[in-house]
A and B are shown apart, each in its own frame.
Chain A
Amino acid sequence: MMGLTWYILGLFTSASAIFLWKLSERYALNIRAWSGLVCGIGLILFSIAWWVGAVLEGVPRAGSMGILLFGLPGIVLFTTTLRYSTQRLEKLSHPAAQPEKSEAEPARVTLRNAQTRGVDKSGYWVFLRYGAYVSLAVAFIIGIVTDKTDYESLILAKYADLELKKIHDDPVVFQVGEKHDNNGEYILIQEGQGYGGPFVFGIRIKDDAKIHEVIPLADKETPAFIKKIQEANYRDQFVNRPVSDNFIVGVDIDAVSGATVTTMAAAEAIRKAAHVAVLDYFKLERSWQQTPWKIGHQEVLILLLFVLAFLPLFNKPPYKYLYMAATVAVVGFYLNAAISIGSISALLMGYMPSAREHLIWWILVIGTIAGIIVLGKNVYCYKICPFYGVQYVVNKISGNRLKPSPAIIRNARVIANFLLWLALMLIFSLRLPAAGAFEPFAMMFSLEGIGIQWYILPLSIIGSFFMSLFWCRFFCPAGSALSIFLKIRKKVASLLIARRTISENQDG
C-alpha cells in the first residue's frame, strides 16, 4: 500500500513539475512565484503522504492533523501564488518560439541552452535549486519520522525462550525471570556515538554482576570499520567482566587498530548500559573512573596542522610541500581522519561524538565549519585535506594537464552538486551518513573498502594522474558542501555589511 502511495506521489510530482514548466513558458515567473508554487505543491504532496502513512499506522487523527497543518497552508499558498502569477506577472508573448526538445537530445545541449536562454530558463535553475533544498528538507523529515528501529522486538525475538519483562523505558531494561534482593538477570539497551551516528548494543548481565553477552543491535558506522572490529572479535573483551569496570578504550579496553572510533562508540554504549545496571539494579558502589579527556600527541598534531593552515606562509613552496606531506602522513595515513560528506551530514543530523574522546573530530569538523563561519575561510580544501596532497603528488609525477571535453567542464559543477544532492537525499532519508559517503578517503588510507568503493578509489587516483585535482574539482561532495557553506556565509556577510552601511548613512 505504501509502495502504491509513493508511486502515485511520484506521478503527482511529475505532473506538478510539468505544470510548473508549462506555466513558466507562459508567464515570466519571478522568484516569489517559484518559491510559492514549489512550497505549496511540496506541502500538499507531503500532507498526502503523511495522511496515508498515518491511516496505515492506525492513527487517522494524526493524519487529519497533518492535512490541517500542512495540506491547508499548502493549498492556500499554491492558489494565492497561482493567482498572483497569472494576474500580476508579465505574459510572455511568444511561448511557441521556444525550441522543442526531443528526449534523445543530449543533456549538455539542454544545459547550454539553459545558460543562454532568458527568463524561463533562469527560472528553471531557480526551480531546480529550490526543488533540491525542499526535497532535502522533506528527506530529512522522512528520515526523522521513519527512523525508529524496534530494538525491543530484536531482543524479544533473540531470547524468545526466556521470560522477559520490560522494567524500564529509557534506557530500555528487561528483567529475565524473577528478581531476588540486589541481584538478578537483566538485558539493557544503550547507544554510543561513533562518527556516523549511534551504535546500539544490548548487554546481558547475570546474577554475578558480570556481562555475559554483548549484542550489537544497530550501527551507522562505515561498513569497512564494522568489518574490521568484527574480525578482531572486539566483543570478547567485554564478556565476563564485572559491570563496574571502566570500559574505557585505552584504559582497560584495547582499540581495534584502524577502527578506534568505532571501538570507542561500542565501548561507550556498553559502559553506559553496565553502569546503569551497577547503580540502579545491583545497588553497588560507583568505583569506575570518569572518561578522561583524550589529549595525546595525535590531538596536538592535528591542532597544530589546523592552526598552521591559517598561515599564508604555507601557501608557497617549499613550505607548502612540507605542509602537504605532513597532512598526508598525519591526517591521512596515521589518523585516517579526513572529513567526508558523512561527517558533515552527521553533524547536520545532530550526531556529535563526545569532545572528551573525539577531540580530533571536533578540531577538524567543527574547526573547519567555525573557520568558514567566523573568518569566511575554508582551510580544509586544498590545505588540510590529505586526499588533495595525494592527488597533487600523483599529478606532479605524471606531469599531465589533460582537460576533459568543454561540455563536461562547463557542466562539472552541476554534476558535482547533483551527486552531492543524491548522496544527501540517501543519507537524510535513511539517517545514515555512511550510506551516501562515496568518497574514497577512508579507503585510501586504510585500504579497507566494500564493493564499488574499490572502483572509485583507483579511478580517482588515475583521474588525478591525467587531470590536476580530478576528485576535488569534479566530484568531492564534502568539498561541494563546504563551498556551499562558504557561499551562504559570504551572502550573509554582504547582506549584513549592506545593512550596516545603510544604517550608517541614515545616521550620518
Chain B
Amino acid sequence: MVEQQDRLAKVDKPGVGTVISSALYMVTVVMVLAYIYQSFATHF
C-alpha cells in the first residue's frame, strides 16, 4: 500500500520536461497576448 502511494506520488510529480515545456508555453501565450495588446494600444 505504502509502495503504491509512493509510486503514485512519483507519477503525479511533474518532471523537469513538463515544467520546462509548460513554462515555455505559458510565456509564449503571455507574449502573444502582449503583442495583441501592443497592437491594440498603438491603434486606439
Contacts and interface: CB of A to CB of B under 8 A. Distances in A.
A430 B34 CA distance: 18
Contacts of A455: 31, 34
Interface residues of A, number: 31
- Main SS class of interface, B: helix
22 contacts: A402-B18, A404-B21, A405-B22, A408-B22, A408-B25, A408-B26, A415-B29, A419-B29, A426-B36, A426-B40, A435-B39, A435-B40, A451-B35, A452-B31, A452-B34, A455-B31, A456-B32, A463-B28, A466-B17, A466-B24, A470-B28, A475-B28
Contacts of A453: 35
In the A-B complex, the 7 residue pairs with the closest CB atoms = A402-B17, A404-B21, A404-B22, A402-B21, A452-B35, A435-B39, A459-B28
B43 to A, nearest CB: 5
Given A404-B21, A474-B25, A430 B32 contact: no
B32 A438 contact: yes
B5 interface: no
A86 interface: no
A423 interface: yes
A61 B38 CA distance: 37
A415 B22 CA distance: 14
Contacts of A456: 28, 31-32, 35
Contacts of B24: 404, 459, 462-463, 466-467, 470
Interface string B1-44: 00000000000001001101110111111011111101110010
A432 interface: yes
Interface in A385-406: 400, 402-405
Contacts of A419: 29, 32-33, 36
A436 interface: yes
B30 to A, nearest CB: 9
Contacts of B25: 404, 408, 412, 463, 470, 474
A422 interface: yes
A436 B21 CA distance: 25
B14 A452 contact: no
Given A403-B21, A405-B18, A459-B27, A475 B39 contact: no
